[in-house]
Amino acid sequence: MFDGGNDKPGERYGAFREKLNQLGLKNDFQMVPDAKHGEWGKLQYRPKFVAVMDEFLRDVLGEVE
């Protein structure tokens, strides 16, 4: 889950993340400082988003050749 620092970080996903945990599904919450909702694709936020997503996917999927 991603939220921007200007978008009430973490408030919307509590019940959803709890259900994922109950099902044993890996999940994580990351906040992109100073971003608003849906700004992950904007150039100034993209490197943070890509780095965090890459780390999460490598953790879940392992290294892909």
Rounded distance between C-alpha atoms, residue 38 and residue 29, angstroms: 15
What are the φ and ψ backbone dihedral angles of 24, each rounded to 5 degrees?
75, 20
Rounded distance between C-alpha atoms, residue 22 and residue 35, angstroms: 30
What pLDDT shows up at residue 25?
92
Quote the pTM value: 0.69
Residue pLDDT tens, the chain, 65 long = 878 888 877 788 889 999 999 999 988 888 888 888 778 788 998 998 899 889 889 988 888 77
Rounded distance between C-alpha atoms, residue 30 and residue 17, angstroms: 13
What pLDDT shows up at residue 39?
83
